[in-house]
Amino acid sequence: MNIIVCIKQVPDTTEIKIDPVKGTLIREGVPSIMNPDDKGGLELALRLKDQFGANVTVVSMGPPQADVIMREAFAMGADRAILLSDRKFAGSDTLATSYALAGLCKTLDYDLIIAGRQAIDGDTAQVGPEMAEHLGLPQVSYVCDAKKLDNGNLLVHKENEDSVQVLEVEGKCLLTVLASAFEARYMTVSGIVEAYNKEVEVWNADKVGYDESRLGLSGSPTKVFQSFPKAMKAPGEVHEVSEEEAVELIVNKLKEKHII
């Protein structure tokens, strides 16, 4: 079985701070990590590899610095790593990104593509399903369990808000998975030693061959009109009032905040 896993290098958003004066993101000193859901996806691929034997190829689109997560993937157990890196991809929205990654996948031999549900820097959850459409593959998103059946099909659990759907998928498909369902293994020491002896293949756009009007900023239907920091929290208010008034205050606040 040949499995492709899509991974992305993201800033650890829990460490991100906003410059209170300029209102911009402070990126300095923020560690870059493999996106957690993608790591869950790699874990699923490696579990399938452990059980049935598989060739696991990780693919990513990003700057050359993303080399680090590719090596991390090697150290966890991936067999091959391809990093799509080209200025032509700069400014891609989800559609342009999915087009680029799908184009790369088309040049590879695969039975299954796994992606993370969403990346913590964008939280869109769109690249996976958009790729599946470009590739004409069936998809299952929010995957919390996946098994291979004797007939070769996959039995996949999709986690919804109130239920789990058990789905049987025939043939090639694309899954997007939840990190919480696939606790990623640690890299091993020998994996780390070997990761630096393996080659991360860096591909540019020409190597894949694209309709270039669909790449990068020009290939992105959505544009960022403006960005701004989340409004700062105003200092709180404290009231010493009757119980009835207190309830009234709370209910009004909850309504104002759309919590009820």
Partner 1 sequence: MIRSFAENEVKPLAAEVDEQERFPMETVEKMAKLGIMGIPIPKQYGGQGGTVQMYIMAVEELSRVCATTGVIVSAHTSLCMAPILEHGTEEQKMKYLPKLASGEWIGAFGLTEPNAGTDAAMQQTTAVDAGDKWILNGTKIFITNASYANVFIVMAMTDKSKGTKGISAFIVEKGMPGFSIGKKELKMGIRGSATCELVFENCEVPKENLLGQLGKGFSIAMKTLDGGRIGIASQALGIAQGAMDETVKYTKERKQFGKAIAQFQNTQFQMADLKTKVEAARFLVRSAAWKKDNGIPYSADAAMAKLFAAETAMEVTTKAVQFHGGYGYTREYPVERMMRDAKITEIYEGTSEVQRMVIAGHLFK
Partner 2 sequence: MELKDYKNVFVFAEQREGNIQSVAYELLGKARDLADTLGEKVVAMLLGCGIKDQAQKLIEFGADEVIVADCPELKDYLSEQYTQVVDQIIKERCPNIVLYGATTIGRDMAPRIASRLKTGLTADCTKLEVVSDEKSNGEPQFRQTRPAFGGNLMATIICPNTRPQMSTVRPGVMQKRQREEGRQGIVTNFVPKFDTSKFKVKLVETIKEDKAMVDIADAKILVSGGRGVQNKEGFDKLQALADVLGGQVSSSRAMVDNGVMPHERQVGQTGKTVRPNLYMACGISGAIQHLAGMEESDFIIAINKDKFAPIFSAADLGIVGDLHKIVPMLTERLKKEIEK
Tokens 């032509």 found at: 88
φ and ψ at residue 226, rounded to 5 degrees: -160, 160
Kindly report the number of other CB atoms within 10 A of residue 199's CB atom.
9
The verdict on 188 binding partner 1 (CB under 8 A) reads yes
SS3 at position 234: coil
Which C-beta is closer to partner 2: that of 77 or that of 129? 129
What does 9 interact with, of partner 1, partner 2, none (CB < 5 to 8 A by kind)?
none
Q: CB 195 → partner 1: shortest distance, Å?
A: 10
**Least gap, CB of 120 to partner 2 (angstroms):** 6
193 binds partner 1 (CB under 8 A): yes
Is the Cβ of residue 69 or residue 120 nearer to partner 2 in the bound state? 120
Token digits of residue 134: 């470009």
In the bound state with partner 2, the residue whose beta carbon lies nearer, of 75 and 169, is 169
State the greatest distance between any 2 C-alpha atoms of the chain, in Å, as a whole number. 72
Rg (CA), the chain: 22
Q: Does 108 help bind partner 1 (rule: CB under 8 A)?
A: no
Q: Which helix (H) or strand (E) holds 18?
A: strand 17-18
The stretch among 85-93, 94-102, 186-194, 226-234 that binds partner 1 (CB under 8 A) is 186-194
- The reply to whether 14 sits near partner 1 by the rule CB under 8 A is no
Which of partner 1, partner 2, none lies near 189, with the C-beta cut-off 5 to 8 A by kind? partner 1
Strand pairing report for 32-34 and 25-26: unpaired
Closest CA to 198 of 101, 110, 78, 108: 78
Beta bridge partners of residue 34, listed in sequence order: 9
- Under 8 Å between Cβ of 214 and 91: no
Q: Does residue 75 touch partner 1 according to CB under 8 A?
A: yes
Distance CA 184, CA 181 (A): 9
Q: Which of 190, 213, 222, 226 binds partner 1 (CB under 8 A)?
A: 190
192 binds partner 1 (CB under 8 A): yes
193 binds, among partner 1, partner 2, none (CB under 5 to 8 A by kind): partner 1
Name the binder of 258 from partner 1, partner 2, none, CB < 5-8 A by kind. partner 2
Q: How far apart are CA 225 and CA 248, in angstroms?
A: 39
Alpha carbons within 13 angstroms on the beta-carbon side of residue 245 total: 5
Residue 188 binds which entry of partner 2, partner 1, none, CB below 5-8 Å type-dependent: partner 1
Shortest distance, position 249 Cβ to partner 2, whole Å: 7
196 binds partner 1 (CB under 8 A): no
Q: How far is the CB of 125 from partner 1 (least distance, A)?
A: 24
Positions that interact with partner 1 (CB under 8 A): 72, 75, 186-193
